[in-house]
Structure 1
Amino acid sequence: MPTITEVRRRVVRFAGGAAVVLVIWFVGMAAAALVVTPTVVVAFGDPGRLAGVDGDLLASGRGFLAMRTADDDTVKSLYQHGAWLVWPVLTAGCGRR
């Protein structure tokens, strides 16, 4: 029968592994937005500051903004306007044409 210490080690190891996977996912998606130059992005941050970026607004909510990009520099412009994370929309979800 496992002791309490062994169970805690397993839980901590699992939580640490899950945290590493999440960090890799978030960083990978942010890098993909810079490399892929998507046509639709979701930017996380203050929508009031991000709305000034050139592009078509698709949706906005508390802490996010979805928009169709106007040019190749839109992702960089979103970061300059205070976005703390920009993800590409790679499926036909909120960016349907």
Structure 2
Amino acid sequence: MPMITRARRRLFRFAGGVAAVLAVWFIGMAAAALVVTPTVVVAFGDPSQLAGVDGDLLASGRGFLAMRTADDDTVKSLYQHGAWLVWPVLTAGCGRR
């Protein structure tokens, strides 16, 4: 019985570590969108509500919207229109050309 308890403890410790790393990643990317003022963002939420924000639409799908931002307040405007998470696009490979 002690081996099963040790194995469970290791599994819970590993799962907790993975959850902590993912939380830091998600929060860090969301904070980066507010601090960096990116030119292209991906917003997660209802695309029909997010489409009213000022900017150029690059791609849209179920639950996300990629857009080129029009000004410095686009990220804040996306959050005000119901986005639950906004990430900056840090590479030039996102969106249709």
TM exceeding 0.5 = yes
Please show how residues 27-66 of structure 1 align to structure 2 within 5 Å: 27-66=27-66
Residue aligning to 1:71: 71
Q: Are residue 85 (structure 1) and residue 85 (structure 2) matched?
A: yes
RMSD between aligned alpha carbons?
Answer: 1.2
Q: Which runs of 4+ in 1 moved over 3 A?
A: none
Q: Conserved in 2, the CA contact under 8 Å of 1:50 and 1:78?
A: yes
Give the secondary-structure state (helix, strand or coil) at the position aligned to 1:53.
coil
CA distance in 2, matches of 1:96, 1:74: 20
Residue aligning to 2:7: 7
CA distance in 2, matches of 1:29, 1:75: 12
CA distance in 1, matches of 2:95, 2:69: 10
Give the total of aligned pairs: 96
Q: Conserved in 2, the CA contact under 8 Å of 1:45 and 1:64?
A: yes
TM-score (normalised: structure 2): 0.95
**Cα deviation, residue 94, structure 1:** 1.4
Equivalent residue letter for 2:19:
A
Give the secondary-structure state (helix, strand or coil) at the position aligned to 2:68.
strand
**Cα deviation, residue 25, structure 1:** 0.3
Q: Conserved in 1, the CA contact under 8 Å of 2:59 and 2:95?
A: no
Q: Conserved in 2, the CA contact under 8 Å of 1:68 and 1:95?
A: no
Unmatched 5+ stretches in structure 1? none
